Amino acid sequence: MPRSIQSTQPPLKFIPQRFNPFVLQIVRWLLPFVLRFRTRPWLPTGIVHIESKNAEILAKLYQQFQAGKIRFLIAFRHPEVEDPLCMLYLLSRIVPRVARQQGILLQHPVHSYFLYDRGMTVWAGNWLGWLFSRVGGVPIRRGRRLDRQAIQTARELFANGKLPIAVAPEGGNNGHSGIVSPLEPGVAQMGFWCVEDLQKANRSETVFIVPVGIQYRYVEKPWSKIDWLLSKLEADSGLPVNEIDPSASLNQQEIYYQRIYRLGEYLITEMEEFYRRFYHQDIPKTISTEEFASPNEILIARLHRLMDKALKVAEEYFGIQPQGNFIDRCRRLEEAGWNYIYREDIPDINALPPFKRGLADWIAEEADLRMRHMRLVESFVAVNSTHIQEQPTAEKFAETTLLMFDMLSRIQDTTFPGRPRLGWKEAQITVGEPISVTERWENLQGDRHAIRQAVSDLTKDLQVALEKLLE
């Protein structure tokens, strides 16, 4: 994350896709090192092993694609920031290896174009935009109702590009290997657009969407690191550290669950008072417990109520009506904030007189502050009442603790330091059965009015397919 923004910025320009096989090859050579030591070269924190299931499905699809028989889009899960690196490893190493083993001839490179959030270059730097453009990336403004240039570029590549295209249909990472966030309809819509574009060109390729699941696990269960991180969060929050007696008749999972529950309840109570007192939000100090079966459900209900209030604080400032789920609201707020910071209505910022420049900087700084309410909510969009309790694992405890770390870091430090790394990890990538978009299009029998429902149905089916890959 960048430091707090205190001045207006020039518009975020579209970064054209300029695929360069030489740059891609360099990235592939560096990939094993980057996977292991992406953020801290001196610590054992990265991904040491990636295994796959059903990679032969992709090998066969690439063979058919290169023969001009099909077009396809890879719809991959997005739980962590490492996902694109794992996908690159899958396509550059695992799929070619499986193809050789099964006698499937493939042309090189086995790669894909991909969509990425334009905001990544805001916090990482312009170098990332340069790199992504050379390895097939297309930037998209997630909150824009219609990012015409990005959508048109992606549509053109899907129908006519020399490579398939990959998209994360969740729109952003949610921090949970075992929970799929509600999908955005863009992937399904792109599938139907591709079929339509092919038919207009009198082409016979079949269009598929391929679901791909990604999950992570620690090589060694990081209980000691979780204990350290929880102790740090307890201390930073003002709670006594590790108040629960380890000698009590509780197993390890129960001890950590109680610590996380206690910390979460404390943080929610403090944030409720924060929004109640300083932002004049109507948050009752009690909640009716009749409709909830457990204290955990009550806590999650309080969390969701708090998230709603935090978003309303930002929405009221930007003049936005609450619409959709938490993810939808976050996306719209992000775009509204960017419109106040990256000013497309100012031809030349440096040509402004000091008075108008001062006003523009004022607006940009305040917009950045208001967007922080949305950033807090982003960390918890996938949290539910049963995730940890159902089959408690070290990974689930680590994920939840890291989300709370994100929250405290955003409040304590405007530079938002990198997450603590709790140990070596392994990735499991599972390729699902391709979904034929062409077949669904043919079932519409040319009824364009039914496409909206077809997009909705395909999105739901893709959601189910991704969730099954995590079972």
Q: What token pair was written down for 245?
A: 């007696």
Q: How far is CA 42 from CA 36, 81, 421, 447, in A?
A: 10, 20, 12, 59
**Ranges of H-type helices in 113-251:** 120-124, 126-134, 148-160, 186-200, 223-237
> CA-to-CA distance for 415 and 123, rounded, in angstroms?
10
Q: In this predicted structure, what is the pLDDT of residue 248?
A: 54
**Maximum Cα interatomic distance, the chain, rounded to a whole number of Å:** 73
Peptide bond just before 109 cis, omega within 30 deg = yes
> CA-to-CA distance for 352 and 355, rounded, in angstroms?
8
pLDDT tens digits along 2-28: 457 888 999 989 999 999 999 999 999
Q: In this predicted structure, what is the pLDDT of residue 44?
A: 47
CATH T-level topology, domain 21-219+425-469: Glycerol-3-phosphate (1)-acyltransferase (3.40.1130)
Closest of 223, 225, 255, 224 to residue 242, by C-alpha:
255
Q: In this predicted structure, what is the pLDDT of residue 391?
A: 74
pLDDT tens digits along 294-326: 888 888 889 999 999 999 999 999 999 999 889
Q: In this predicted structure, what is the pLDDT of residue 41?
A: 42
pLDDT tens digits along 340-398: 999 999 989 999 999 999 999 999 999 999 999 999 998 888 777 666 767 788 899 99
pLDDT tens digits along 202-231: 999 999 999 999 999 999 999 999 999 999
Question: What residues does 47 pair with on adjacent strands?
Answer: 425
Contacts of 193 (CB under 8 A, 6+ apart): 155, 158, 159
Q: How far is CA 217 from CA 15, 93, 220, 424, in A?
A: 35, 21, 9, 9
Per-residue pLDDT, averaged over 42-66, amounts to: 88
* Spatial contact of 94 and 190, defined as CB atoms under 8 Å apart: no
> CA-to-CA distance for 113 and 14, rounded, in angstroms?
16
Selected residue with higher pLDDT from 6 and 50 = 50
DSSP-derived pairing of the beta strands 137-140 and 113-117? parallel
* Spatial contact of 464 and 88, defined as CB atoms under 8 Å apart: no
> CA-to-CA distance for 174 and 180, rounded, in angstroms?
8
* Spatial contact of 432 and 469, defined as CB atoms under 8 Å apart: yes
Closest of 159, 156, 153, 158 to residue 141, by C-alpha:
153
Q: In this predicted structure, what is the pLDDT of residue 245?
A: 55
pLDDT tens digits along 69-128: 999 999 999 998 899 999 999 999 999 999 999 999 999 999 999 999 998 888 888 899
Q: Is 54 exposed, middle or buried (0-12, 13-18, 19+ CB in 10 A)?
A: middle
Q: Does residue 431 carry a pLDDT above 60?
A: yes
* Spatial contact of 177 and 466, defined as CB atoms under 8 Å apart: no
* Spatial contact of 58 and 122, defined as CB atoms under 8 Å apart: no
Q: How far is CA 411 from CA 97, 171, 337, 451, in A?
A: 46, 24, 18, 44
Selected residue with higher pLDDT from 138 and 81 = 138
> CA-to-CA distance for 49 and 39, rounded, in angstroms?
17
> CA-to-CA distance for 367 and 437, rounded, in angstroms?
41
Q: Does residue 286 carry a pLDDT above 90?
A: no
Q: In this predicted structure, what is the pLDDT of residue 144?
A: 62
Q: Is the dihedral of CA 431, 117, 463, 203 positive or negative?
A: negative
Per-residue pLDDT, averaged over 265-284, amounts to: 94
* Spatial contact of 159 and 107, defined as CB atoms under 8 Å apart: no
Average pLDDT in the chain: 89
